[in-house]
Structure 1
Amino acid sequence: MTAQPIIFDGHNDLLTRLWLSPNADPVHDFIHGTLPGHMDLQRCRKAGWLGGLFSIFLPPYAYVKNNHPDKLSPPSGSDSESGSTADFSPQQIIDICCEQLALAQQLQAHSDGQIQICTSLAQIQACQQQQKLAIVLHMEGAEVLAIQPELLEVFYNAGLRSIGPLWNRKSIFGDGLNAPFPHSPDIGSGLTQQGKDLILTCSEKHMLIDVSHMNERAFWDALELVNQPIVATHSNAHALCQQARNLTDQQLAAIKQSDGMVGVNFDVAFLRADGQRNTQTSLDVIVDHLDYLIDHLGEDHVGFGSDFDGCLLPDDLADATHLYRLVERLQQRHFSDPLIEKIMAKNWFAVLDKIWR
């Protein structure tokens, strides 16, 4: 390979990290390359990281309360203290999600044309030509839409083009997917009627529907509802790592039949056969998952879904600038240059084009 291929990635939690940041101006820090974590603009450029799906996400209440209590100044009349997800007041949930959307808009507005929120493949490819960072807005867990359904239109008009209706916790849209290791994804009920209605509405808007945090029953419910490629933006193979959130061979077969794809998650707990959160994990384990998924999906249906800024990475993949090491490992494992280019970006381009057109 004469040059490092560009990378388009299926999932990151940068916007949540910016929201949680104690820094006075995390948007400035991201643009000018001084932000801690897995990525900032300078590191993305160094890595050839064109962009990806940027998640708007409501973190667990207990995590925010224990680590970032300054983010939980309660609105007047709020006395919630029990520690569950329900402890966020409705207004806090709305504020958190809207503030993360505002951070994405600030990244675009304050970058002197270096960052763009994209709603089409043509815009992403233009960013590639112009060496801009391409942001595709994704919603991970849709609790905010349970409070104010009309906010879907607000977020859509602001650029939202991808949604994962569920996260680990239970909501009016369905049961979450949270189970001890090892476990099958067959846990809990499927989608509620509200969840089905939300998916149909988003599908009618030609939005990507992410199944990464759906339990197995919800997965099959979603498959029956939509007439578009099924995408797991950041999931791995259950046969290699029996986390409940990883995909069974039957699910992989359904994704292949839908002409969809899977983005491989770099979090060590979703890679390792023992499910341990151990950063001393070989990059070969990532390649093993890629290899397995390609065997079951075909080489046109697998990419990266790193979960940067929301995961525990292998030591050899400490941040975005170390992606070259993964490219080298793919080459050492005899992945061809055209296949590496598909995994890095082309497969994402193809599936987004099918869904958005």
Structure 2
Amino acid sequence: MRTVFDGHNDVLSKLWAAGDRTGAAFFNGTDGDLDLAKCRAGGFAGGFFAVWVPGDPATAPDPMATYRAFEPVDPVMARQVTLEMAAILHRMSADRPDAIRLCRSAADIEAARTAGAIAALLHIEGCEGIGPDLDELYLYHAAGLRSLGPVWSRDNIFGHGVPFDFPASPDTGPGLTAAGQQLLSACNRLRILFDLSHLNEAGFWDVAKLTDAPLVATHSAAHALTPATRNLTDRQLDAIAESKGLVGLNFGVAFLREDGVKTADTGPEVMLRHIDHLIARLGEGGVALGSDFDGTMIPRFIGSAAGLPRLTQAMEQAGYGADLIARLCWGNWLDVLRRTIG
């Protein structure tokens, strides 16, 4: 069974929404994609654990709609929720270091793997919980934050997130704000990975111009194959390749299928088609996995983290060599993290 390091999951949001502030359900079993038993069954040995602030359910669009735009969230509420979700991961790591460890570096990730614990990298997806003075950024960095995406698919003080749409371009509005540029500069100084997933195309090019760090999209796919706003154009992929960056393949079916339909009846060949395209643009060292477990509809053949071996088996059957599979599942993430967070 292959060991997997994954670019994105939303299990902290799921635990928080259930009122589980200690993460007990992660250890005892959940009805979602990710818990300790499923991770161990599928070889899930680490990944980016995202903090994501939900919006008002009353204003949320139909989750099955093709076009979905989201209202901004209240920053006061967002600061409180961000704190509470980050605290869940800290409690889980403190209470069960044998099972999960909060990691601050690539070396920490490797040490957790050696010890048989899940390596958890704290990530913030959409920075509504960080104010324009960036005070919270420095506090969260001290508390282990090593990756963030400035926006989710809604606007905030830092930039403009893409609405969900198909077929459509990711060029949906203006780029980073002045506050967003200051956030990027601070992340570069602190060695916090700046995630390009959910950022619109103008924001992507602003980041590309303003940073020397590898360009990374933790959970995205290829726009050339599935023209959804959340996916990356070939021109964007070429810029990521030039920076020696990385794309983690999103498992969300609506971002993978040619027809953009949101159905779990999506086979491995659809995922492999995206992996092949990403490798063609980024090289074998520029592609990894970014499942979005507990945050999107994933293919039924995978089902949960326990089903990850079915994806790697499909890679083997498609003729992927053992070394390439190892890089896609673990090595490429560790390589880019050594060059970003240290």
Asked if 2 retains the 8 angstrom alpha-carbon contact of 1:256 and 1:301, the reply is yes
Correspondent of 1:16 among 13, 17, 36: 13
Distance in 2 separating the partners of 1:321 and 1:186: 36
Q: Aligned letter for 2:26?
A: F
Change (3 A) 1:329 1:201: same
* Shift, 1:148, TM fit: 6.2
Q: CA deviation at 1:100?
A: 0.2
- Structure 1 residues 324 and 232 mapped into 2: Cα distance closer, same or farther (>3 Å)? same
Q: Counterpart of 1:36?
A: 31
Per the TM alignment, residue 204 of structure 1 is displaced from its structure 2 partner at its CA by: 1.0
Conserved 8 A contact 1:241-1:275: yes
Q: Report percent identity of matched pairs.
A: 40
User: Partner residue of 1:6?
Assistant: 3
Q: Are positions 1:127 and 2:112 aligned together?
A: yes
* Contact 1:26/1:35 (8 A) holds in 2: no
Partner of 1:61: 56
Q: Which residue of 2 aligns with 1:199?
A: 184
Aligned to 1:79: none
Say if 2:294 is the partner of 1:309.
yes
Question: Please, which runs of 5 or more residues in structure 1 have no aligned partner?
Answer: 67-83
Any idea what SS the aligned residue of 2:202 has?
helix
CA distance in structure 2 between the aligned counterparts of 1:135 and 1:320, rounded to whole angstroms: 15
CA distance in 2, matches of 1:65, 1:277: 17
> Residue by residue, what CA displacement relative to the aligned partner does 1:19-71 show, whole Å, maximum 9, x if unpaired?
1115x566112113x212001012111111111001111112226999xxxxx
Distance 1:62 1:148 in 2: 29
Q: What amino acid maps onto 1:151 in structure 2?
A: E
After TM superposition, the structure 1 = structure 2 runs for residues 1-357 of structure 1, keeping only pairs within 5 Å, are 4-22=1-19, 27-32=23-28, 34-62=29-57, 85-86=71-72, 88-146=73-131, 149-357=134-342
Deviations 1:259-280 (A, max 9, x none): 0000000000000011111111
**Residue 5 of structure 1, CA deviation:** 2.0
1:346 deviates by: 0.1
With the length of structure 1 as denominator, give the TM-score of the two structures: 0.90
Q: Against the structure 1 CA distance between its residues 63 and 341, is the aligned structure 2 distance closer, same or farther, given a 3 Å change threshold? A: farther
Give the match's secondary structure for 1:316: coil
Deviations 1:209-238 (A, max 9, x none): 100111111000000111110000000000
- TM superposition score normalised by structure 2: 0.94
Runs of at least 5 residues in structure 2 that lack an aligned partner in the other structure: 62-69
Return closer, same or farther for 1:165/1:65 CA change in 2, 3 Å cut-off.
Answer: closer
Count matched residues.
336
Superposed CA deviations along residues 174-232 of structure 1, whole A, max 9, x for unmatched, are: 12211521001111001111111101111111111100111111000000111110000
Mapped partners of 2:84, 2:246: distance in 1:
30
C-alpha separation in 2, matches of 1:43 and 1:99: 24
Cα RMSD (Å): 1.9
Structure 1 distance, partners of 2:305, 2:316, is: 18
Measure, in 2, the Cα distance between the counterparts of 1:27 and 1:63: 27
SS at match of 1:167: coil
Distance (whole Å) between structure 1 residues aligned to residue 97 and residue 9 of structure 2: 23
How many Å separate the matches in 1 of 2:238 and 2:75? Answer: 39
Relative to structure 1, the CA distance from residue 63 to residue 326 in structure 2 (aligned partners, 3 Å threshold; closer, same or farther) is farther
Deviation per CA, 1:228-258, whole angstroms, max 9, x where unpaired? 1000000000011000110111000000000
| Contact 2:214/2:245 (8 A) holds in 1 | yes
Tell me how far apart the structure 2 counterparts of residues 273 and 344 of structure 1 sit (CA, whole Å). 24
Other structure's SS at 2:34 match: coil
Larger Rg: 1
2:67 paired residue number: none
Instruction: Note if contact 2:152-2:161 (Cα within 8 Å) is conserved in structure 1.
Output: yes
Are the aligned partners of 2:267 and 2:301 in contact in 1 as well (CA < 8 Å)?
Answer: yes
**Structure 1 residue 109 displacement after superposition:** 1.6
1:299 match: secondary structure = coil
Q: Does structure 2 retain, via aligned residues, the 8 Å contact 1:90–1:147?
A: no
